[in-house]
Amino acid sequence: MSTPKRIYLIGFMASGKSTIAAHLAKQLNWTAHDLDAMIVEKAGKSIPQIFADEGEEFFRRLERDCLHDTQEWSNSVIATGGGTPCFWNNMVWINNNGSSVYLQTTVNTLSKRLWKAKYSRPLVSKFTNKIDLHTFVSQKLTARNIFYTKAQHIIDANNKNVAVICNTIATILQIQHLCKK
């Protein structure tokens, strides 16, 4: 197996994609990128503002364009948005242009994380009780799993620390030899 040039982390919001990308990139001496941050930079406004001003279709096109901008990068770990794999045939594109890793996390864990961070997450900030949030996460995750499970690798990221997840990814991609000693 040859060393991948790009690793795309996919999964539901709050599954740890950005955190894992930063730690894994540091461990490999690669560069971490966050697709949402790229979108914000390109648009010159926040994601909630993009949705409010331009709508979801505009956002998803911008998201696809930013994803395609990663094609020429090497030695990069890219944290995608939670919905990235679900639109514009992005999951097929990701699998054709790098190694995809799904950070699989349970509804309970995601709901707990999202409840704690709900005011910084526009998609869930409207929820006033944990039961409604849990129901939303369950329904959305079920719908998105059709796309997420097309990843080349699926990692159980539930209640595992960052180092364990990063080491697991390095091992399954056979790139542990690149890790800093």
Q: What is the pLDDT of residues 13-72, one digit of tens each?
A: 999 999 999 999 999 999 999 999 999 999 999 988 898 899 889 999 999 999 999 999
SS3 32: strand
Q: What is the dihedral of CA 25, 30, 36, 37, to 10 degrees?
A: 110
Q: Are 143 and 1 in contact (CB under 8 A)?
A: no
Q: Which two tokens stand for residue 140?
A: 């959305």
Containing domain of residue 44, as a range? 6-105+151-178
Q: What is the pLDDT of residues 135-178, one digit of tens each?
A: 999 999 999 999 999 999 999 999 899 999 999 999 999 876 66
In angstroms, what CA-CA distances link 47 with 44, 65, 142, 163, 174?
10, 15, 23, 29, 35
Residue 166: CATH number of its domain: 3.40.50.300
Which residues, listed in sequence order, are joined to residue 100 by a DSSP beta bridge? 8
State the pLDDT at residue 122. 73
Provide the number of structural domains found in the chain: 1
In angstroms, what CA-CA distances link 172 with 1, 2, 47, 68, 175?
10, 12, 33, 25, 8
**Looking at the domain assignment, is residue 64 inside a domain?**
yes
**Looking at the domain assignment, is residue 62 inside a domain?**
yes
Of 41-45, 97-101, 123-127, 164-168, give the lowest mean pLDDT range. 123-127
Under 8 Å CB-to-CB from 83, ≥6 apart: which residues?
A: 60, 63, 144
State the pLDDT at residue 62. 97
> What is the pTM (predicted TM-score) of this model?
0.94
